[in-house]
Amino acid sequence: MTPPYLLTLAFAAFLLAGIATKLWLASRQVRHVARHRDAVPAPFAGTVALAAHQKAADYTIAKTRFGLVELAFGAAVLLGWTLLGGLDLLNRVLVAWLGTGMWQQLALLVSFALIGGLLEMPLTLYETFVIEERFGFNKMTLQLWLADLVKSTLVGVAIGLPIAALILWLMGAAGHLWWLWAWAVWMGFNLLLLVVYPTFIAPLFNKFKPLDDEVLRARVTELMARCGFAAKGLFVMDGSKRSAHANAYFTGFGAAKRVVFYDTLLAKLSPGEVDAVLAHELGHFKHKHIIKRIVGLFALSLAGFALLGWLAAHAWFYLGLGVAPNMTGPNDALALLLFLVAVPVFTFFVSPLMARLSRKHEFEADAYAVRQTSGGDLSTALLKLYEDNASTLTPDPVFVKFYYSHPPASERLARMAAGSAA
Q: How confident is the model at residue 421 (pLDDT cuts 50, 70, 90)?
A: very low
366 is catalytic: yes
pLDDT digits (tens, 9 = 90+) for 65-123: 999 999 999 999 999 999 999 999 999 999 999 998 899 999 999 999 999 999 999 99
Backbone φ and ψ for 237, nearest 5 degrees, come out as -105, 140
Strands 208-210 and 234-237: antiparallel
Per-residue pLDDT averaged across 180-201, rounded?
A: 88
Residue spans per domain, the chain: 4-175+317-353
Alpha carbon separation from 32 to 59, 70, 198, 356 (Å, rounded)? 14, 21, 40, 21
- Percent of the chain predicted with pLDDT > 70: 96
Given a contact cutoff of 8 angstroms between Cβ atoms, the answer to whether 220 and 233 are in contact is: no
> Which ranges of 176-270 does DSSP label H, i.e. alpha helix?
178-196, 214-226, 263-268
Non-local (6+) Cβ contacts of 163 within 8 A are 185, 186, 189
Q: What is the pLDDT of residues 248-269, one digit of tens each?
A: 777 766 555 778 888 877 888 8
Q: What integer is the mean pLDDT of 346-350?
A: 93
Q: For 251, list phi and psi in degrees, rounded to 5.
A: -140, 160
DSSP H or E stretch at residue 398: helix 397-403
Closest CA to 391 of 41, 124, 120: 41
Number of H helices, E strands in the chain: 17, 4
CA angle 77, 58, 73 (to 5 degrees): 5
What would the mean pLDDT of 20-35 be, rounded to a whole number? 97
Contact 56, 69 (CB under 8 A): no
- Answer yes or no: is 284 a known binding residue: yes
Pair 164, 106: CB distance under 8 Å: yes
Which residues are CB-contacts of 61 (< 8 A; sequence separation ≥ 6)?
A: 30, 33, 34
- Quick: pLDDT tens for 29-52: 999 999 999 999 888 888 888 999
Q: CA-to-CA distance for 348 and 120, rounded, in angstroms?
A: 21
Q: Which of 281, 332, 377, 387 is catalytic?
A: 281
What are the tens digits of pLDDT across the range 364-407? 999 998 888 888 888 888 888 888 888 899 999 999 999 999 89
- 248-251 and 258-262 strand pairing: antiparallel
Residues 261, 235: contact at Cβ < 8 Å? yes
- What does the pLDDT look like over 111-159, one tens digit per residue? 999 999 999 999 999 999 999 999 988 888 999 999 999 999 999 999 9
- Who wins on pLDDT, 413 or 398? 398
Is 281 marked active-site? yes
CA distance 255 to 346: 38
- Tens of pLDDT, residue by residue over 277-302, are 888 888 888 898 888 998 999 999 99
Q: What pLDDT does 375 receive?
A: 80
